[in-house]
């Protein structure tokens, strides 16, 4: 275990790399590293503050980096020692990328990736709690997919949780992704219409860009083809508080001399992180799977929504947080994952992620923020689960978007912390 200590602004930051089993049912086999960062306030070092472990959204994204003493981290460190864990396979935790899996055969890679869901992320947390920090209980903050992780924690290790805070991440208990995508495709269409209502010029510009891509071969800075369906994936940003404005101002600089500008193409390349965070594509649908296969659900359900099938005579609509098998061809860095991803899409024997009976007997205080207009985590499925869990307080608001923890972190945490003492 390596430990590094830094002092930054008013924060004291301690970094650790910890070795954990890949498969906790066979701990003697392959090991992986998990990186965890403790963030404390300098003025609190003499206090015995409890721990709050943070689970990032995704799946497949590393924890935030505390680059300034601000936002939700500043608010959280007033009451807690905050632990930022790079979930296995992300950031500095045995990262999964095209370079790290070069020597893995497809079937082995599929099996390897199957250990990178919420269940094993939580087992990592439990290993760290017991073996590194030696505390009986700690609290959890889960954002988006991090809330899915928190619910897994409540299902299997509730005795080691003091309090749980969830922001935009109460999962469906046992819904199939087909049901989930039927709900979220509808919400994405609503976000598209709202986007074009707020920014009418964006509708004109988006269609002009789509027509150009439809008629021409366009390449991104890394040589990947900018296809129409890849352009549509910029809709992933429509559910963020700053996403619509970001796209609007990007589109207004799309053309120089009637061709797509270098600036525009570079910005698209930077906005899309599917290739740098491949778990998001490969395991996104699997984060819902419990005893069934997903069979590329988003691709199948897309056929039920012809609005997304663009032709030059109709309106143009962006897709949202949906992942498709064609991405394993179109994104150069994702191609090494193609066969393994197909194997995982057919996998049926996924273990359960949530224990309904335990959740119905929950005694851990939970405060959860539900965003009424959330584009990514469907409000209906969230409330269905919330309704069966005792000792859970839901704060529902229509004034924030999915990224409220990032954009309005103090307000969100103040609201949640005040609800459970």
pLDDT in tens, 321-373: 999 999 999 999 999 999 999 999 999 999 999 999 999 999 999 999 999 99
Helix (H) or strand (E) holding 346: helix 338-346
- Position 4 scores a pLDDT of 67
Instruction: Answer whether 393's CB lies under 8 Å from 416's CB.
Output: no
Q: Helix, strand, or coil here: 188? A: helix
Strands (E), 88-215: 138-143, 161-167
* In contact, 209 and 232? CB cutoff 8 Å: no
Percentage above 90 pLDDT, the chain: 94
CA-angle at 122, arms to 116 and 125, nearest 5°: 115
**What is the mean pLDDT of the segment spanning 23-33?**
96
The fourth-level CATH superfamily of domain 2-173+354-417 is Alpha/Beta hydrolase fold, catalytic domain (3.40.50.1820)
Give me the pLDDT at residue 312, please.
Answer: 83
94: left (phi over 0), alpha (psi -120 to 50) or beta: left
Token code pair at residue 306:
């012809």
**Which token pair is 330?**
């179109």
- The CB density around residue 314, as the number of other CB atoms within 10 Å, is 11
pTM of the model: 0.96
Q: What burial letters (b/e) apply to 48-78, b meaning 16+ CB within 10 Å? A: eeebbbbbbbbbbbbbbebeeeebbbbbbbe
**Residue 303 has what pLDDT?**
96
Asked if the model's pLDDT at residue 241 lies above 80, the reply is yes
Q: Give the model's pLDDT for residue 7.
A: 67
So what's the pLDDT on residue 45? 82
pLDDT in tens, 369-412: 999 999 999 999 999 999 999 999 999 999 999 999 999 999 99
Q: What is the pLDDT of residue 46?
A: 80
Task: Kindly state the average pLDDT of the residues 107-130.
Answer: 98
Cis peptide before 326 (omega within 30 of 0): no
Determine the pLDDT at residue 93. Answer: 98
Count other C-beta atoms under 10 Å from residue 311's C-beta. Answer: 9
> 4 Cβ partners below 8 Å, 6+ apart?
14, 15, 16
């Amino acid at each position: 275990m390596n430990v590094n200590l830094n002092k930054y602004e008013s924060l004291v930051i301690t970094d650790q790399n910890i070795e954990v089993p890949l498969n906790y049912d066979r701990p003697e086999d392959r090991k992986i590293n998990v990186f965890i960062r403790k963030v404390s306030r300098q003025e609190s070092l003499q206090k015995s503050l409890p721990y709050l472990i943070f689970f990032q959204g995704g799946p497949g994204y590393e924890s935030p980096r505390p680059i300034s003493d601000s936002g939700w981290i500043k608010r959280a460190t007033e009451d807690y020692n905050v632990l930022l864990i790079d979930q296995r396979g992300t950031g500095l935790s045995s990262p999964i990328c095209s370079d790290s899996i070069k020597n893995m055969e497809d079937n082995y890679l599929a099996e390897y990736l199957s250990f990178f869901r919420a269940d094993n992320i939580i087992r990592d947390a439990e290993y760290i709690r017991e073996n590194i920090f030696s505390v009986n209980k700690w609290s959890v903050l889960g954002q988006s997919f991090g809330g899915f992780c928190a619910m897994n924690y409540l299902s299997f290790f509730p005795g080691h949780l003091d309090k749980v805070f969830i922001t935009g991440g109460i999962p469906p208990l046992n819904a199939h992704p087909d049901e989930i995508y039927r709900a979220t495709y509808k919400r994405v269409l609503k976000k598209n219409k709202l986007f074009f209502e707020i920014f009418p010029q964006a509708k004109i510009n988006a269609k002009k860009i789509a027509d150009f891509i439809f008629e021409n071969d366009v390449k991104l800075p890394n040589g990947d083809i900018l296809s129409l369906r890849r352009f549509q994936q910029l809709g992933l940003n429509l559910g963020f508080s700053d996403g619509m404005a970001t796209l609007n101002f990007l589109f207004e600089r799309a053309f120089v001399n009637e061709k797509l500008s270098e600036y525009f193409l570079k910005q698209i390349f930077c906005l899309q992180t599917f290739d740098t965070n491949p778990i998001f594509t490969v395991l996104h649908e699997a984060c819902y799977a419990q005893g069934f296969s997903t069979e590329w659900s988003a691709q199948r359900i897309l056929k039920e929504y012809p609005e997304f099938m663009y032709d030059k005579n109709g309106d143009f609509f962006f897709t949202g947080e949906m992942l498709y098998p064609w991405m394993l061809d179109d994104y150069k860095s994702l191609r090494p994952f193609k066969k393994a991803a197909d194997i995982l899409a057919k996998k049926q024997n996924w273990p359960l992620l949530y224990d309904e009976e335990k959740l119905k007997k929950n005694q851990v205080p939970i405060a959860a923020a539900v965003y009424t207009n959330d584009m990514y985590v469907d409000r209906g499925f969230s409330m269905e689960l919330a309704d069966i869990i005792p000792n859970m307080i839901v704060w529902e608001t229509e004034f924030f978007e999915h990224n409220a923890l990032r954009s309005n972190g103090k307000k969100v945490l103040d609201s949640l912390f005040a609800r459970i003492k």
